[in-house]
Structure 1
Amino acid sequence: MANQLWRLALVMSSVLMLATTAQAEVVAEETEEVRRKDSLAPLLLSDFEQPTTAIAEWMAQIEQPAIQVTGVQINVTAAGLNIALETNEPLATPSTSVVGNVLIADVPNAVLALPEGEEFQAANPAEGIALVSVAPRGDGIRVAITGTEAPPVAEVRTEAQGVVLAVTLGEPGEIAEEDAIQVVVTGEQEDGYAVPDASTATRTDTPLRDIPQSIQVVPRQVIEDQAVTELQDAVRNVSGVVEGNTFGSTQENFIIRGFQQGFQLGSTLRDGFRANGSFSGVRDLANIERIEVLKGPASAIFGGAIEPGGLINIITKQPLEEPFYSAELQAGSFGFVRSTVDLSGPLNADRTLLYRLNLAYERGDGFRDFDQGIERIFVAPVVLWRIGDRTDLTLELEYLNDERPFDRGLIADGDDVVDIPFERILGEPDDIARNEELSIGYRLEHRFSENWRIRNALRFTDAYLPNQRAQPQRFDESTGILTRAWSDQEYFVNGYALQTNVIGEFSTGSIEHTLLFGVDLERQAYDSEGFGTDAPSINVFDPVYGVAARPEQDEFPTEAGIFNQQIDLLGIYLQDQVTLLDNLKLLLGGRFDIVDQRTELGGRFGEGESQQQYEAFTPRIGIVYQPIEPLSLYASFSQSFAPNSGRTVDNSILEPVRGTQYEIGMRGEWLDGRLVTNLAAYHLTRSNIAATDPENPDFSIAIGEQRSQGVEFDVIGEILPGWNAIASYAYTDAEITRDNSPLEGNRLFGVPENAASLWSTYEIQSGDLQGLGFGLGLFFIGERQGDADNSFQVPSYVRTDASLFYRRDNWRAAINVKNLFDVDYIESVPNFRTAINPGSPLTVLATVSVEF
């Protein structure tokens, strides 16, 4: 208890310090990273520093209605060109600045209302001018004019019908090509569905079109439009991903390309760091910027603990230079209430210290008949310190306190799910699970030059996860009687990970390289203690609860079962992204891992210790060919290995799980990059898998080899102005291909052969109803096998979601309806007949948010 109070005091002190400092600051700029390039590429509007605005001026702008710019006209003159922003009333005088060869003009308190779209661009409108771009920027409009040899010069005139910039060419300076700069914004992403880059596949910021492996990104805009509050609702938009074993709805686990994530170490990452495997709880999304899902083996870059189906990497929000304040309130069905706060900005005048603070509080009763619902508190401060021009240090902390029912769900009856109301529980109404987790870490980056940098990061996590439940055991179909057992468990989880890598860009003749070399060190430790004894049986058709009191730990007739495990991993990896030609790229990589695994048993499990150490090399090879600018064709080969979670009845640890994948695919970026498509076909094998020993359910056996092969298709982006969509389809053929038991030839449990999703929104772009939008979603999951024996199946379903929203200035209000037609469906099956997870019924959620 003293430990917990100390942690809470530390967190709240950090919150108060950051919030107080944030209120005292009045100026900021948008975070940006400047790096030199070898060519004078035109720069876009989002690439540049925003001028400082005092709070008094800023508040005055909010109070005034924004002036609509209804047209942009460019007229070539003898001296250069005139750019006219057309309005029905005078605009404020723009402020101007110069970055590199670009002249920037910021027009405050204005909004674009162009009939042809949300932005205006004109390439090479006059000699010496490479690009003119006009786009929204904060509470105003930004005009960027890129000169080919020097920054243009502009005379600004305000008129009754708008603003005119009379542009003339500047004198060429002494800027050589190698000194030309490109400004890269590293703060908040612009609203939108299509994301051009990702870091998960290569640990470098790489365009998706250059990655020879299937990767999908779920951006923040999709999360907001769908009113997503849990990770499972976000990744249902991605092909080949379905929910796996949730351990009584207390954890997040997924099946990717047919394979369940590892029980101990898991395949969900946070900013490239592994979460606490299956022992981690339900993650809060308050500080998430986007979610990247990499399909297929990833051990070549993330080490020997990633299952071959793929991984999910959660990218968190980072501090901004521009002051940003956001608050959101959600309320809906089953007593659900959730509030979040997002604050960011500078902590000092010269903006070498930036912060971000995300807070969330949530409670809800849920649709299942438990005495107590979900209640959680989440706090996540981040501080960025720019130690110098070349060195940045980021300090991060997350604190989560979560309490929710432990809910094993429904049970199977013959070859189907027992026919009882979905809200009926088969444990006890006071079954509960708790999770208190503290995570701290840092990220340090030093840039030796424009082309070479070193990164070092550390993350430490400590969690305590107790639960108490009446565990369903065996069901008698003839009588309706379900036997149960009292279970009282505690998990103590802690671990750290240290990552160091060097990234360098260089050329060998005409061939360009991006080299990555790194070393990872990781330790994960799990200590558990569990008590169990018989509990009163229950009739599932006419349940009576509270027949006997739940025993305290010292009242259990048998001693505790003790299971402790420690896994140490050391990995060294090397990767080279090679540009052979502008349209031909090669990815070569490999990693060598040493894994040490120790297990200790005690109490009613018997006394015993076991240790296993093994080494592995995992390669990855991929090639990308781009026959035309928007299309990429790729092929890849990759392997993986992971520590086995299983141990046999004689207490020996199974050999590591091995995976091998062959993949080919096509990725397209259409409509000037606003719409992204990805088509992939793969063949993936996984060998030496642990499964529950049917004779000894507390232990495991190896069941040989599993194979998954299929086709996946993903689409995301803006089809027309205001019309966004994200869609997916997956065909997955997953089965047990080699085994010494009747399981051989069975389909893998929980894996639908066909699955598809579609979510689309449209927002009215002009007129009296501008800002009003509508959304519709369809989520289809085909029939799945309920267990490895294929003894029962859960039927297919289609879930329909809808939304109605309205945006105006810095306000947004929305109503989201999930499961519009109130269909009964099964969310997941974890290979147990007595732990089937039902999906939520018709749910309505209202959201109001405001940004400053």
Structure 2
Amino acid sequence: MTFCTIRPLTLAVCAALPLLAQAEAEPTRTLGEVLVHSKAPAENLNLDQRASTASRLGLSVRDTPATVSVVDRDTLEKWGADSTQDMLKHVPGMTAASPPGSAGSVYYRGFGASQLTQLFNGITVQYDAIAARPVDSWIYDRVEVIGGPSTFLFGAGAVGGAINYLSKQPLRDESLLQARLSYGSFDTQDIALGLNQALTRPEQGGVAHTVRVDANQRRGQGYVDGNNRESANVAMSLLSEVNARLSHTLSLEYQRETSHRPYWGTPLLNPTSNGQIDESTRFKNYNSQDGIYQQTVKWARSQLDYQWTDATRLRNTLYHYQALRDYRNVESYRFNSSNSAVSRSSALLQRHDQDLTGNRLELTHQGTLAGLPSHWAAGFDYSVNHQTRYPLSLSPVVSTVNPAQFVTESFFNVPGMTPGFRPDRSNKVTTLALFLENRTQLGERWSLLTGLRHDQIKLGVRNHRTVSATDPAYFSQTYTPTTGRAALSYALSPSANVYVQYSTAADPPAGILTTASFSQVRDFDLTTGRQVEVGSKFDYWAGRGSATLAAYHIVRKNLAIADPNQPGVTLPVGQQSSRGIELATALRLSPRWWVKADVALVDAQYDTFTENVSGVAVSRAGKRPSNIPARVANLRVSHDLTGALQVGMDARYVSRRYADAANTISDKAYTLLGASLNYRLNKQVSLSARLNNLTDKIYAANVSTGQFYLGAPRSAEVAVQVDF
């Protein structure tokens, strides 16, 4: 790829592109909070909205010297995002999939799994690849994403970026009652309700209360044989305004999902290096006939806001998270050498019991530093995360079946599989973090944003099974990473700027500390990451269009690799890197035509990496990490046929990805087409229709060495929403 040798000069030229759109620089805006009271069109990048994920200072997207993407509620409703992962398709360069064993899989900027932090209302549960599985989108207001290292904001585990799903919250001075009904392919049904209502008002005296309730229930058959899913989600919030300076928000959420006979993937034909499937097995499900995935999640958040003075604000968030996840599946399927039969193996009975409690105190202050306007944020975050896992795993082949005609067993008829849960390990992760952030206006056009965070992370693991030298009864480890960010921004005009940023990250050595074993962490410290990014955010064509541009280089060090001299021993000396360019734009071609497009190019590779292959150390230096596409692009076009009727078309391109570190197995690039129609019958009633994968493309949503997790075939959905 031609951009793989990006040089500092090239980055500087890229960052300066907005100069072409500005004939003459103008004075900068006054520093301060940006409040947006009106809704921007769903096609607009809306650079002046605030994004809490990228900074604790309440900065707008435009004023934050980093890549920040915000996918708001209007966009979700217009383009038919039914789940949290559907939301992420609107983030330039991001791909996501939900294979049951890693249903929170997200890939961005050359990294994936535990190298990206996924948060819920700013809180990480430290088990993202599992806990961040898709949730129905109705209860969420928006998703915010920051590209690159963000450990300095949210703690260990964010070298590739951070994703923050934000729930709907009470709206002051607004009453609404909403109902939404939808029906789609595979007998998918969804009913959703939303309520926002003031219980008491300030003029009535005493404490003013506003309540928000959002709930939905969804069920469907799934697009593979025997699979069906049902889910229920409820989010409730009570905003209590004691006076003009003091308020409290109590938020409770309940999520329950059951997937019967989950689909784990489709086996590859031999030789697997061709990355091909037998199309007759596209919708086949090789799981046990009573296989199951089930999850129950409970959230509680208590947020106290106090405007101490006009310049100083305090916020305290006390939170609790509880999750129970159950698996009962046969997960692996492989063709025999003649591709005439499929062997089924890897029977797993598993339970995860996770409990997280924490408190975060934040203080923000607007003042001066050496006579310059300066905005500060500081605070601490303390949490205790406890998880116990109960696995019963059997590796032998369960059965060998005809690929097209077969019947699978009941799960507990698998030889050696018995009901009941026996604990394996209990992991306790205690985190205490101190953080500090500052933005200082250095002059009329220059501003400097800095951030620093210091964590003390203590891991304690108790073994509930047989004690050995490699698996002691109890062990502990303490990590003390310090991470930060420094970014300089220059305003070319009130609507255009350029910036350069340097940030660092720290990741757990085993990927996820809440599941780490003694062998994974005993000789390892946290891995480290750093990023250099230059970019720009600007409006053009007299404000009809807006765009963001960024070029970055990320390096992650101290990966565990096989010792070249002793392949059975691991060494913390590996390195992985990525560099790329991201461009996003939204343009109003005319009062009736809108275009929104983005493209992301990434060159990701292992710089130093040795893999243990059957006892032999094999170098994978120069190879691309699995599931990382080199190119991702999106195009969305919408047209207002009348004031009430709008139609849209969209296209999404993802280049091929490798399934293994040797880069011998890959899928093919694919393009998905979609269409939408939105019609407002009157002020209260709106209708929508959505077609996905118009060409019925067969494609892999996620790739692994023996089987591909295929994406959904052509599907349709119609919905009616009523605002009472």
When normalised by structure 1's length, the TM-score is: 0.73
1:851 aligns with 2:713: no
Partner amino acid for 1:704?
G
SS in 1 for 2:535: strand
* Maintained 8 Å contact 2:94/2:632: no
SS in 1 for 2:366: strand
The verdict on how the C-alpha distance between 1:600 and 1:671 changes in structure 2, with shifts beyond 3 A counting, is farther
Which residue of the partner structure matches residue 316 of structure 2? 456
1:712 aligns with 2:567: no
* Maintained 8 Å contact 1:622/1:634: yes
1:798 aligns with 2:675: no
Which residue of the partner structure matches residue 781 of structure 1? 654
The verdict on how the C-alpha distance between 1:651 and 1:712 changes in structure 2, with shifts beyond 3 A counting, is closer
CA drift at 1:797? 0.2
SS in 1 for 2:77: helix
CA drift at 1:649? 7.8
CA drift at 1:450? 1.5
1:222 aligns with 2:95: no
CA drift at 1:473? 5.7
Which residue of the partner structure matches residue 692 of structure 2? 818
- Which deviates the most, 838-847 or 467-476? 467-476
* Maintained 8 Å contact 2:104/2:130: no
SS in 2 for 1:824: coil
CA drift at 1:398? 0.3
The CA distance in 1 between the partners of 2:413 and 2:389, in whole Å, is: 19
Aligned counterpart in structure 2 of residue 730 of structure 1, from 600, 622, 638: 600
* Maintained 8 Å contact 1:598/1:612: yes
* Maintained 8 Å contact 1:273/1:497: no
Aligned counterpart in structure 2 of residue 364 of structure 1, from 216, 220, 228: 220
The verdict on how the C-alpha distance between 1:485 and 1:806 changes in structure 2, with shifts beyond 3 A counting, is same
The CA distance in 2 between the partners of 1:200 and 1:339, in whole Å, is: 30
The CA distance in 2 between the partners of 1:825 and 1:402, in whole Å, is: 26
Which residue of the partner structure matches residue 34 of structure 1? none
Which residue of the partner structure matches residue 201 of structure 1? 54
Which residue of the partner structure matches residue 528 of structure 1? 389
SS in 2 for 1:689: strand
The verdict on how the C-alpha distance between 1:791 and 1:691 changes in structure 2, with shifts beyond 3 A counting, is farther
SS in 1 for 2:258: strand
Which residue of the partner structure matches residue 210 of structure 1? 63
CA drift at 1:584? 1.3
Aligned counterpart in structure 2 of residue 573 of structure 1, from 415, 435, 438: 435
Which residue of the partner structure matches residue 170 of structure 2? 319
1:687 aligns with 2:552: no
Which residue of the partner structure matches residue 15 of structure 2? none
CA drift at 1:548? 6.0
CA drift at 1:407? 2.2
* Maintained 8 Å contact 1:399/1:439: yes
Which residue of the partner structure matches residue 16 of structure 2? none
Which residue of the partner structure matches residue 437 of structure 1? 297
Aligned counterpart in structure 1 of residue 234 of structure 2, from 368, 379, 385: 379
SS in 2 for 1:207: coil
The verdict on how the C-alpha distance between 1:488 and 1:637 changes in structure 2, with shifts beyond 3 A counting, is same
Partner amino acid for 1:658?
T
Partner amino acid for 2:278?
D
SS in 1 for 2:552: strand
1:279 aligns with 2:151: no
Give structure 2 stretches of 5+ with no counterpart. 1-29, 611-617
The CA distance in 1 between the partners of 2:652 and 2:296, in whole Å, is: 33
The CA distance in 2 between the partners of 1:751 and 1:555, in whole Å, is: 36
The CA distance in 1 between the partners of 2:33 and 2:481, in whole Å, is: 41
The CA distance in 1 between the partners of 2:690 and 2:640, in whole Å, is: 15
Correspondence 1:599-678 to 2 at 5 A:
599-603=461-465, 607-608=471-472, 609-645=474-510, 650=519, 652-653=521-522, 654-670=524-540, 675-678=545-548
CA drift at 1:429? 3.4
CA drift at 1:851? 1.3
The CA distance in 1 between the partners of 2:562 and 2:267, in whole Å, is: 18
The verdict on how the C-alpha distance between 1:253 and 1:701 changes in structure 2, with shifts beyond 3 A counting, is farther
The verdict on how the C-alpha distance between 1:610 and 1:235 changes in structure 2, with shifts beyond 3 A counting, is same
The CA distance in 1 between the partners of 2:548 and 2:410, in whole Å, is: 56
Aligned counterpart in structure 2 of residue 840 of structure 1, from 687, 702, 712: 712
The CA distance in 2 between the partners of 1:278 and 1:693, in whole Å, is: 27
Partner amino acid for 2:488?
I
SS in 2 for 1:713: strand
Which residue of the partner structure matches residue 345 of structure 1? 197
Which residue of the partner structure matches residue 242 of structure 1? 95
Quick check: which has more Rg, 1 or 2? Answer: 1
Q: CA RMSD in A?
A: 3.0
Partner amino acid for 2:188?
F
- Which deviates the most, 738-747 or 712-721? 712-721
Which residue of the partner structure matches residue 95 of structure 1? none
SS in 1 for 2:74: helix
Aligned counterpart in structure 1 of residue 345 of structure 2, from 462, 468, 484: 484
Residue by residue, what CA displacement relative to the aligned partner does 1:521-551 show, whole Å, maximum 9, x if unpaired? 1222221111133453233623422346534
Partner amino acid for 1:754?
R
Amino-acid identity (%): 23
Aligned counterpart in structure 2 of residue 517 of structure 1, from 378, 384, 402: 378
Aligned counterpart in structure 2 of residue 251 of structure 1, from 85, 92, 103: 103
The CA distance in 1 between the partners of 2:415 and 2:243, in whole Å, is: 55
* Maintained 8 Å contact 1:538/1:544: no
The CA distance in 2 between the partners of 1:427 and 1:703, in whole Å, is: 39
The verdict on how the C-alpha distance between 1:604 and 1:223 changes in structure 2, with shifts beyond 3 A counting, is farther
Partner amino acid for 1:569?
T
CA drift at 1:316? 2.0
The CA distance in 2 between the partners of 1:342 and 1:315, in whole Å, is: 16
The verdict on how the C-alpha distance between 1:761 and 1:701 changes in structure 2, with shifts beyond 3 A counting, is farther
Residue by residue, what CA displacement relative to the aligned partner does 1:471-503 show, whole Å, maximum 9, x if unpaired? 216543325332413211111011023111110
The count of aligned residue pairs is 660
CA drift at 1:404? 1.0
Aligned counterpart in structure 1 of residue 244 of structure 2, from 375, 379, 389: 389
The verdict on how the C-alpha distance between 1:217 and 1:650 changes in structure 2, with shifts beyond 3 A counting, is closer
CA drift at 1:806? 0.7
The CA distance in 2 between the partners of 1:624 and 1:472, in whole Å, is: 50
SS in 2 for 1:746: coil
Which residue of the partner structure matches residue 752 of structure 1? 629
The CA distance in 2 between the partners of 1:692 and 1:314, in whole Å, is: 37
The verdict on how the C-alpha distance between 1:690 and 1:365 changes in structure 2, with shifts beyond 3 A counting, is farther
SS in 2 for 1:206: coil
The verdict on how the C-alpha distance between 1:651 and 1:794 changes in structure 2, with shifts beyond 3 A counting, is closer
CA drift at 1:241? 1.1
Residue by residue, what CA displacement relative to the aligned partner does 1:171-228 show, whole Å, maximum 9, x if unpaired? xxxxxxx9xx999567x84554333221211123212221111111111111101111
CA drift at 1:453? 0.6
SS in 1 for 2:406: coil
The CA distance in 2 between the partners of 1:742 and 1:182, in whole Å, is: 51
The verdict on how the C-alpha distance between 1:674 and 1:360 changes in structure 2, with shifts beyond 3 A counting, is farther
The CA distance in 1 between the partners of 2:385 and 2:326, in whole Å, is: 18
* Maintained 8 Å contact 2:104/2:128: no
Residue by residue, what CA displacement relative to the aligned partner does 1:732-753 show, whole Å, maximum 9, x if unpaired? 1111001233222211110111
Residue by residue, what CA displacement relative to the aligned partner does 1:762-816 show, whole Å, maximum 9, x if unpaired? 223xxxx431110111000001101223230010000001012211322210110
